Amino acid sequence: MKKITLLFLFVSNFIFSQTLVKTYYDPYSKTKIKEVYQVKPNTPTINGYYKLYDEYGNLLEHRNYTNNKLNGKSTTYVGANEASVTYGGVQSLGKISDVANYKNGRLNGERLRYNFSENGKRYLEFRQTYKNDILVSNTIYFPNGQEKKILKIGKSFEYYENGNKFAEYTINENEQIDGEYLGWSKSGYLEVKGFLVNGEKDGAWIEYNEDGTIKSKDLYELGKLMPTQEEQEIARQKEIEKAKKEEERRKLLEEKRLAEQKETERIKKIEEERLALTKKVNELSKEFELQIKNIEKLYVVEDKAGSMLFDETVYKTKKKHLYNAYAIATNYVKAELRKTDDLQQKVDLLTLGIGLSEKMNELRNTKSRDLEKKLKRIDKPLEIIETLGVKK
């Protein structure tokens, strides 16, 4: 009796030492309560229970605090807004949706979460266990109550809704699958087998047919799918083909470069030859004109007797038929020079013209009576050139 009295006095002192706070959705008329909670006197520190309501007066949360930290049981309820969208509909209103336990602001112990199936039946969605805010185990359920997943540090399991095992694996302290992974079909045969390292596929992963024969086999290296031998060979052949095409492309580019270089050199050579021929044509033209004047001076001389007779300068031609033939030939050369733009032809013609002058210079002081008789009967330039023995 004494213990009961002391406990009553402690609870009474605790209740009366708290200040009750209320907030409203309508702070002026204060008809729709939003929150009701306990705080330490003259402070905003929540210390005691805390309740949250929706605008329709339905309780949403019931939590417990010690010095602003969640402590003890914490319950969440289905409110009007959630009920309007959940499969449970109006029947779910006010039902518990979540129950958790806290210690000094951290999850500790069991946490239960409820949901509603498509047919409106309320069921336990998952059961979790926490230790100092760390998830130790997590069991997820199908709406029919059958375990769907049993997740925890160590061996974990997953199931089909019919109760058959879906998968089996081990979870390490990093909350990653680590080690062997086994997966079964809904009908119960082993469908997949493989290994993971800290959540990454590693090594061989094999898929099986219903009769146990291998359907496919893949090789992984820390999450990266490695190619099969066939794929490696295909990749190798592609690389060879790629290298071959690259070599062909390189050769074509080199051939093109060499062709362009050759063409550039050819054009350069042509230009150099053109400049050289142009220079030579200019030099030969001056020489040709000078030779014509020199030959004229040698063969067309003053007739002193005639000059005295007529009291003016009179000229006479030495070796008349030879000189006349020379004039015909040089006029032919000049006419051909005017007709052509080909520099090499011009060089050849000018060389011919100079050769005619040199021949005339040779015949100046030689006996050429027989030659002149022949030339007297010739009026065609090419025959004259041939008769004079000048190379074309």
Is residue 174 domain-shared with residue 128, that is, in the same domain?
A: no
Is residue 176 domain-shared with residue 222, that is, in the same domain?
A: yes
* pLDDT for position 316: 81
CA distance 204 to 193: 8
Long-range contacts of 34-43 (CB under 8 A, 24+ apart): 37/65, 38/65, 40/67, 41/17
CA distance 374 to 186: 125
Tens digit of each residue's pLDDT (9 = 90 or more) over 44-97: 999 999 999 999 999 999 999 999 999 999 999 998 888 888 888 888 888 999
Instruction: Check if the beta carbon of residue 78 is closer than 8 Å to that of residue 93.
Output: yes
Among residues 228, 173, 155, 222, which one has the least CA distance to residue 194? 222
233 in any annotated domain: no
CB atoms within 10 A of CB 127: 16
Last residue of a domain, one of 187, 207, 226: 226
Among residues 365, 367, 361, which one has the least CA distance to residue 390? 361
Which of 7-21, 49-63, 284-298, 329-343 has the lowest average pLDDT? 7-21
Instruction: Check if the beta carbon of residue 47 is closer than 8 Å to that of residue 18.
Output: yes
User: Can you spell out the DSSP letters for 336-383?
Assistant: HHHH---HHHHHHHHHHHHHHHHHHHHHTTS--HHHHHHHHT---HHH
**pTM beyond 0.85, yes or no:** no
* pLDDT for position 8: 43
- Hey, which residues does 347 pair with through a beta bridge? none
Is residue 213 domain-shared with residue 300, that is, in the same domain?
A: no
* pLDDT for position 357: 92
Is residue 209 domain-shared with residue 310, that is, in the same domain?
A: no
Question: Domain limits at 321?
Answer: 281-388
Tens digit of each residue's pLDDT (9 = 90 or more) over 84-140: 888 888 888 889 999 999 999 999 999 999 999 888 899 999 999 999 999 988 999
136 in any annotated domain: yes
* pLDDT for position 84: 84
139 in any annotated domain: yes
- DSSP class of 202: -
Supply 76's token pair. 């969440």
Between vectors from CA 139 to CA 198 and to CA 76, what angle results, nearest 5°?
A: 120
7 in any annotated domain: no
**Does the pLDDT of residue 343 top 80, yes or no?**
yes
What are the Cα distances from residue 292, in Å, to 100, 131, 323, 385? 128, 125, 11, 16
Is residue 206 domain-shared with residue 178, that is, in the same domain?
A: yes
* pLDDT for position 160: 93
122 in any annotated domain: yes
247 in any annotated domain: no
pLDDT-derived band at 312 (thresholds 50, 70, 90) equals confident
Is residue 328 domain-shared with residue 353, that is, in the same domain?
A: yes
Is residue 139 domain-shared with residue 19, that is, in the same domain?
A: yes
Is residue 28 domain-shared with residue 102, that is, in the same domain?
A: yes
* pLDDT for position 91: 87
Last residue of a domain, one of 126, 144, 162: 144
361 in any annotated domain: yes
Handedness of CA 261, 262, 267, 271 (dihedral sign): positive
Count how many domains the chain has.
3
- Hey, which residues does 216 pair with through a beta bridge? 207
Stronger pLDDT, 140 or 229, i.e. the higher one: 140
Last residue of a domain, one of 97, 117, 144: 144
